[in-house]
Amino acid sequence: MGSQDTDKMTSKRKRDWTDSPILLSSLEQKIFDFLVQVLKDERRTTILRVAGGWVRDKLLQLACDDIDIDIALDDISGEDFAHIVEGHLEKSSEHSSVAVIRMNPDKSKHLETARIKMFDVWIDLVNLRGETYAETSRVPQIVLGTAEEDALRRDLTINALFYNINDGVVEDLTGSGLKDLSEGIIRTPLEPRKTFLDDPLRALRAIRFAGKLGFKLNPDIIDACREPEVRSALETKVSKERIGVEVDKMLCSASPLTCVGLLRDVSLFASVFLPDEMPKMDPLEFEIEEAPTRCSATLSKFLSTLESSELSLPKELRRIGLFASLLRPFGGRNVYTAESKPNRPVTVASHIIRHCLKLRGRDADEVNNIHICLTKIENASFVQNRVSLGRLVRESKELLPTVLLLAQSQNEDISAEKIQRTITEMRLEHAASLRPLLNGKQVMKLLPKLPKGPKMGEIMREQIEWQLANPDLTADQCKQLITEKHASFL
């Protein structure tokens, strides 16, 4: 997060929200007014409370592209209330739709949730609840609860605020949420050690929100994260998919370096990226204890390069570049498991992405490709060799801008902009789609004694090399080169 963003966030925090109403958009006001009228028409005393991030972000005046409203109900199920609202919408000739999301702990759906579409906006409806946890699982046992119990079971005080739709006021039932929001503090409603042992994923969420909002972790959160029991619980109780989602959000946030730095500082980096179950690795150039610091350093350099460079990366290329820079210290090193095959080594970076974070296989492949391409850019003179530069364009494909910027971040003598200009000047910008001048049938006709097999692939690759070296090469010239080099197959 830049200094200007930090200043803006700080100015928004320095407010006393005790008596400040939330500023609703016209659409939000329309939705809430309709719900309140439904209660009046049905003569219900149900209290409707908007919960979670919507309240937090409204108070912080953070812009949001989508309206994401979760409403907690105190005396009726979400499904029953959704159908009541649906009936009123139909009477007013408004289109509506109701869906029910059943409990599915494997997908982190611990309580049945009803959804209703009102004025083209989906609203989630759920009961207020309390939770109890078993020692070996982060999946809670759900019980219906009071508003206070619902607030206290949440991950952070700033996420436990309610907006009472009936009265139009913010409710801070933990007693700390508004103060923490004002002072920029990340705190758990209950004692953090127990909170994290119940659901260790909350430790990662605390770090993510600290980075996202520019807040500080309360010291007792830091102490709790450093406890061996909490680190062990994170590795054993939380699915790798859920860890991967949090890490992905951290790196795609406004402050990825802050998040990674916090993971390092609270001793959770290894539990996330290098858990105890990590298989045997090739020897590293550094002690494994140095990994958090080294990974933070390569990420920091890449982010600095992104800020200063004239080149800009689209969202997805930036994302994969952040992962590639973070895991760059492991580049070129492999892991070994019982399933490892000598001819198909698995890199450390790939294993971390595929198994420790359970992200897409494509993410692992692209990070590996970036790391391989980086080894091809050895020095600044590299750009003067048309063949080498053409190979890089072909091998990196759409990842080229990310490769160049990461290379620049590691070597101050390399300029991504200069290499990009040289590629254009050498007419190599379309080298990735370059095809051999002669296809397989033409080569076979030219070399009738050529056996089937790898030799054909070798000749196809040779053609590409010749075309990279000489962009004006003609098909006839290519035929001559092939017959001269492979005369034994004529």
Q: Is the pLDDT of residue 210 over 60?
A: yes
Given a cut of 50, is residue 107 above it in pLDDT?
A: no
Question: What average pLDDT does range 228-237 have in this prediction?
Answer: 94
What is the reported pLDDT for 4? 37
- Residue 95 CA: distances (Å) to CA of 41, 90, 119: 19, 7, 7
- Strand pairing of 69-73 and 121-127? parallel
Question: What was the pLDDT predicted at 2?
Answer: 43
SS3 state of residue 473: coil
**Percentage of the chain exceeding pLDDT 90:** 74
Which residue in this structure is represented by tokens 């054909």? 456
**What confidence tens digit (pLDDT) does each residue in 235-282 have?**
999 999 999 999 999 999 999 999 999 999 999 999 999 998 899 999
CB atoms under 10 Å from CB of 168, counted, come to 13
pLDDT of residue 106: 47
User: pLDDT tier at 345 (50, 70, 90 boundaries)?
Assistant: confident
pLDDT of residue 94: 74
H helices of 185-239, in order, are 192-198, 201-213, 219-225, 228-237
Residue-level pLDDT at 179 = 96
pLDDT for 20 beyond 80: no
Averaged confidence pLDDT in the chain: 89
Rounded to 5°, the CA angle 80-57-304 comes to 135
State residue 14's pLDDT score: 46
Place of tokens 């010291």: 219
DSSP symbol at 353 = I
% of the chain beyond a pLDDT of 70: 90
Tell me which residue has tokens 């550094």: 286
How many angstroms separate the CA atoms of 174 and 385, rounded? 65
Of residues 376 and 205, the one with the higher pLDDT is 205
Inform me whether the pLDDT recorded for 173 exceeds 80: yes
Which pair of tokens denotes residue 349?
């970076």
The pLDDT-based confidence of 433 (bands split at 50, 70, 90) is very high
Q: Tens digits of per-residue pLDDT, 26-39? A: 999 999 999 999 99
CA dist 359 and 246 (Å) reads 11
At residue 62, φ and ψ (nearest 5 deg) are: -85, 130
Q: Which helix (H) or strand (E) holds 296?
A: helix 291-308
Structure confidence by residue, pLDDT tens digits, 40-79: 999 999 999 999 899 999 999 887 767 889 999 998 988 8
- Coil, strand, or helix at residue 100? strand
Q: Which residue, among 183, 156, 164, 184, has the nearest Cα to 21 in the 3D structure?
A: 164
The answer to whether the CB of 300 falls within 8 A of the CB of 323 is: no
**Mean pLDDT within 288-297:** 96
Over residues 439-449, the mean pLDDT reads 93
Nearest to 221 by CA among 233, 235, 205, 242: 205
Residue 189 or residue 4, greater confidence: 189
Tracing tokens 């700080």 back to the chain, one arrives at: 10
pLDDT recorded at residue 327? 98
Q: How far is CA 331 from the centre of its chain?
A: 21
pTM (2 d.p.): 0.87
Mean pLDDT of 388-394: 94
